[in-house]
Amino acid sequence: MTKIVFLDRDTIGPAVTISRPSFPHEWVEYGKTPESEVTERIRDADIVITNKAPVRETSIKAAPKLKMIAVAATGYDVIDLAFAKERGIVVSNVRGYAVNTVPEHTFALIFALRRSIVGFREDVIAGEWQRANQFCFFNHPIRDLANSTIGIFGGGTLGQSVTRIAEALGMKVMFAGRKGASEVAQGYTPFETVLEEADIISLHMPLKPETRDLIGIEEFRKMRKHPLIINTARGGLVNEADLVTALNEGLIAGAGFDVLTREPPAADNPLLTVLDRPNVILTPHVAWASDEAMQALWAQVIGHVENFEKGTPSNVL
């Protein structure tokens, strides 16, 4: 009988119905799996399901029956993909499930920062409205999105969904070309130009060696319009120490981040030192996690497992 091991159930919200494959199988489920315990837990598995528990070469070598890894996410950097392919193991991921939830979270951050929602809320709690002694007060900047420019880094499904919302709000959209490229494809704007002209920069791209630290202090110093920086994509795309420097020097208007290089953040993460500022919002990697999106994600995971069992694997990496 096919043995399926789900390594990290707790990474999927409790509101999600965890359906199981229709074919006969043995199901083993763990809430969390530290990297040190992956090898033992998948040792006799035929199929492994993981969201963030890493499955590396050492663990794969110790699992002679392993035939498939279903990644309950779009990003697959937790898998040693090259070695899995070498062993003939199918690796499938989920795609397109976050087409609403991530863009909506992106704009939640943009609206909150552009209109200083956090700052005004904190002031009201602190009694500033009473002290103002008039119907309103003006402690923080408020800017419209209409007629502003958003620079989108990443032209995939999520970048396109963000574009549709931006255009509906009357924003000008620029898609950034590749960093360092001498030429850009049709419909894209040179990387440097986007840095210089965007009022808001929003990241929607995977983390790869060539995109790590895509934005650092050199790029921040080129941001002539002091934009908001929004990252709902991957930690590591923005150098976090340089981000704090940019905030301290007024190079950017604010930052809305849902992802960090290390999650949860280490105690010495520089971003933790600026979380009390009204122009900084950090959410705990939940842009993907609407109830609707997570249920759609799980349906894909089980669909891929079913398809593999039928001999027609889907979303193979």
Asked whether the beta carbons of 102 and 287 are under 8 A apart, the reply is yes
Residues 6+ apart with CB under 8 A from 275: 282
Pairing of strands 47-50, 90-92: unpaired
DSSP string of 120-164?
Answer: HHHHHHTTHHHHHTSS---SS----STT-EEEEE--SHHHHHHHH
Q: Length of the chain, please?
A: 317
Q: Is 226 a catalytic residue?
A: no
**Cis? peptide before 264, omega within 30° of 0:** yes
Which residue of the set 114, 285, 304, 309 is catalytic?
285
Residues 6+ apart with CB under 8 A from 174: 149, 150, 151, 152, 189, 193, 194, 197, 198
Other Cβ atoms less than 10 A from the Cβ of 176: the count is: 27
Task: Name the catalytic one among 234, 240, 304, 309.
Answer: 234
For this structure, is 285 an active site residue? yes
Active-site annotation holder among 57, 218, 263, 292: 263
- Which residues participate in catalysis according to the annotation? 234, 263, 285
